[in-house]
Structure 1
Amino acid sequence: MRAQGLWALAWRRLRADRVAMVSLAVVLAFLLMVVLSASGLIVADWEQEVGVSYAPPGFAATPAAGTTVTPAAPAAPPQALPDNVFDPIADDIRALRAQLAARQGHGGAAADAVEMYGVVDPLADDLAALRAQAGEGQGGVVAGGGRRATLPFGADKWGHDIIRKTIKGGETSIVVGVVAALLAVGLGTLFGALSGYCGGVVDDLFNWFYSIFTAIPSVLMILAVAAVLQQKGVLTMVLILGLTGWTGPYRLIRAEYIKHKTREYVLAADAIGASHWRRMFGHIFPNVSHVALVQMSILVVGFIKAEVILSFLGFGVPVGVVSWGSMLNEAQNELILGRWWQLTAAAIAMALLVTAFSLFTDALRDALDPKVKQ
């Protein structure tokens, strides 16, 4: 019977861990959400203003969507609202025009009335359009433009549905966090493997680059790269974070390769004629891949947080693009007004993804660790 390989054994160990499988399902659900959002199959209309400004969540004690908003019932019947709630003196202007027309008579009164109408009420056409949009009702005012007074997860100050905005923001944040972490871990692993395995001049060269990058504080390095690129966007943030975050994986992978390159299984591979590239990535890397996975988990979490910082400093997503970072940035001012739902939605989505991803990568690290025997 043929013995199972490293990856087959790791998958068997992983399937036995229920927490790992549940975490994998959550991560895959988020990734599927990103694909569907990017393709436009879901939340393509997230910018549609479906609710009133700062519409509270549906479970709050507010009137139902589309119903008439009326004051509390007083002892006496409520007085009817004026014809135009946007222009409370419209009735007085109309009466004034009627008096002027009666004084001047009907001959030539039309021109005078039009002239007076233009002088006294220059915004009449705009107010008429607002009345049509507002949908005046007898005894109350319905939410204007078909906007809803409440939404299941609330709305922001522009009336955007928070749940749709959170899904669309997750597309940006997850792409930035995962792709930038893949870039950083890929560069760190490649540089660390070359440095640790080859040694000599190659090791000195990569250590020189490593010393330069680590001598500069990470925040200043990120801002320096952002200033050089001088362009906002998802690709820019991926490059900024990926090109500045490879130093941690490099240091750990280099140390592992220095330790493993003299092991018996590597010397045996050399004896049977395996190439240097095959020894580096076919024999050594599977035995140190758990280190790269741990770094991947840490960097995804850190890069999602870094996207928040970049958006706050003005180097993040451009205007018109939403992310969890931009949502948290907006929520700072909303909390002062007691509008907590945007912060809650973004924070819960971020915490759920980060927790699931961390648990899954921890389980995958244990499954790939050759020291763990099951």
Structure 2
Amino acid sequence: MPEKQTNRGWFTQISFRIRTQPLAAIGVILLLGFILCAVFAPWLAPQDPAQLDLPGRLTSPSHAHWFGTDELGRDILSRSIYGARISMIVAVSVVTFSLMLGLVAGGLSGFYGGITDTILNVYVSNAFLALPGILIAIAFVAFLGPGLLNLILALSISGWVGYARLVRAQVMAVKEKEFVEAARALGASDLRILTRHILPNILQPLIVQAAIGMAGAVLAEATLSFLGLGIPAPAASWGAMLNDGRSHLFESPHLVFFPAMAVMLSVLSFNFIGDALRDFLDPRTRLSVGM
């Protein structure tokens, strides 16, 4: 009986969240759709995304090709599905690497302060902030050449500073708490204090920032691919599809419409989820809605 009541309580909370935050539910549904496309692309795609069909080039959406074909006769639906795989891989990888770099740099800067904080926060971070991140990524990829790994490294190098600043601020606030002082008095090492006592208490804003950062990574990948600095052909990428379709924008607008919608919906899904996580993890917001 208590188990049924617990399950009923969870269902009540979930239904309440869906009613009060419908955008979060939409974001989760969209994101699940993109994840399914990324994981099961070979089974969901009706055709090979690199298969050429020159007699059938620039075909409008039809029963045979739901999203039409591009200038080389390739099926746009198949390429859009495979493009979700690249976008999801880039989003997860970039946020993971950026967050790891930010945790190390921000944690050391905020925990030790002094000369460490001056070097990492004042000199290194400001040096990366002096130029827009997309310009750093463009220069990095242009130097090493296009490719998935180079693209991920470029976006990670240009995106870690925001996480480092956030971690530094959170660590500086938490390290003065009583439980940290108690752990230090008991002889805990700096590494144990950082990993066992400080890190679990700063995860909430990092989770929200990571969700929003994935939206930025998807948009950055599409931008670099649009400029020809992303995944080399014939791999399907939403940004490359936009670049291929811009010369046929007026006679075949479907070449641009479907990849643009894919980019827009994926970015919206991450932003909706990030906003929902921020409201859910903020105790003041939970109290205001009666949860």
* Number of the residue aligned with 2:245: 331
1:360 corresponds to 2:273: yes
Q: Which residue of 2 aligns with 1:348?
A: 261
1:327 Cα offset (Å): 0.9
Aligned match of 1:35: 39
Query: What stretches of structure 2 of length at least 5 have no aligned partner?
Result: 1-9
Instruction: State whether structure 2 residue 124 is matched by structure 1 residue 209.
Output: yes
Aligned-partner Cα distance in 2 for 1:25–1:275: 44
**Equivalent residues of 1:291, 1:365 under 8 A apart:** yes
The answer to whether the Cα contact below 8 Å between 1:153 and 1:161 also exists between their aligned partners in 2 is: yes
Q: Which runs of 4+ in 1 moved over 6 A?
A: 12-15
2:4 maps to which residue? none
Q: Per the alignment, in what secondary structure is the counterpart of residue 339 of structure 1? A: coil
d(CA) in 1 for partners of 2:274 and 2:267?
11
**Letter matched to residue 360 of structure 1:** I
Alpha-carbon distance in structure 2 between the residues aligned to 1:210 and 1:22 = 36
Deviating more after overlay: 315-324 vs 300-309? 300-309
The higher radius of gyration belongs to 1
Q: CA RMSD in A?
A: 2.7
Aligned partners of 1:49, 1:315: CA distance in 2, in Å? 23
Letter in 2 for 1:361: G
Contact 1:290–1:366 (8 Å) recurs in 2: no
Which residue of structure 2 lines up, in the alignment, with residue 17 of structure 1?
Answer: 17
TM-score computed with the length of structure 1 as normaliser: 0.65
Matched, 1:276 2:190: yes
Between 308-317 and 155-164, report the one with greater CA deviation: 308-317
Once the 2 structures are TM-superposed, how far is the Cα of residue 22 of structure 1 from its aligned partner? 4.8
- Which AA in structure 2 matches 1:226? V
TM-score by length of 2: 0.82
Q: Deviations over 1:248-282 (max 9, x none)?
A: 11112211211111022322343455443343233
Please identify which structure carries the higher helix content: 2
1:255 matched to 2:169? The reply is: yes
The amino acid across from 2:27 in the alignment is S
- Is the CA contact (8 Å cut-off) linking 1:14 and 1:364 kept in structure 2? no
Unaligned runs of 5+ in 1: 1-9, 59-64, 66-149
Identity %: 34
Counterparts in 2 of 1:361 and 1:333: CA distance versus 1, 3 Å: same
CA distance in 2, matches of 1:289, 1:248: 15
Aligned equivalents of 2:91, 2:188: Cα separation in 1: 36
* Inter-CA distance 254–346: structure 2 relative to 1 (3 Å threshold): same
1:1-374 mapped onto 2 (5 Å cutoff): 16-18=16-18, 19=22, 20-37=24-41, 40-43=42-45, 45-49=48-52, 52-58=56-62, 151-207=65-121, 208-228=123-143, 230-336=144-250, 338-371=251-284, 372-373=286-287, 374=291
Determine the C-alpha separation between the residues in 2 that align with 1:318 and 1:57.
Answer: 26
Say how many residue pairs are matched: 271
User: Which piece of structure 1 moves more, 260-269 or 42-51?
Assistant: 42-51
Per-residue CA distance 1:65-106 (angstroms, 9 max, x = gap): 7xxxxxxxxxxxxxxxxxxxxxxxxxxxxxxxxxxxxxxxxx
* 2: CA distance, partners of 1:29 / 1:265: 43
Structure 1 CA distance, aligned partners of 2:14 and 2:193?
26
Partners of 1:258 and 1:180 in 2: CA distance: 25
Q: Displacement of 1:16 after TM fit?
A: 4.8
**Greater alpha carbon shift after TM alignment, 14-23 vs 235-244:** 14-23
Query: Is the CA contact (8 Å cut-off) linking 2:56 and 2:73 kept in structure 1?
Result: yes
What residue identity is the alignment partner of 1:220?
L
CA distance in 2, matches of 1:164, 1:317: 17
Task: Call closer, same or farther: CA 1:354–1:227 in 2, change over 3 Å.
Answer: closer
| Structure 2 CA distance for partners of 1:14 and 1:287, relative to 1, 3 Å | farther
Amino acid corresponding to residue 51 of structure 2 in structure 1: Q
1:7-34 CA distances to partner (integer Å, 9 max, x unpaired)?
A: xxx9x97775224355334323322321
Specify whether residues 356 and 247 from structure 1 end up closer, same or farther in structure 2 by C-alpha distance, changes over 3 A only. same
Aligned amino acid, residue 192 of structure 1: G
Q: Distance in 2 between matches of 1:300 and 1:342?
A: 25
Amino acid at match of 2:169: A
- CA separation of 1:320 and 1:211: change in aligned 2, threshold 3 A: same
Maintained 8 Å contact 1:189/1:292: no
Deviations 1:216-247 (A, max 9, x none): 3334322332244x232111100000011111
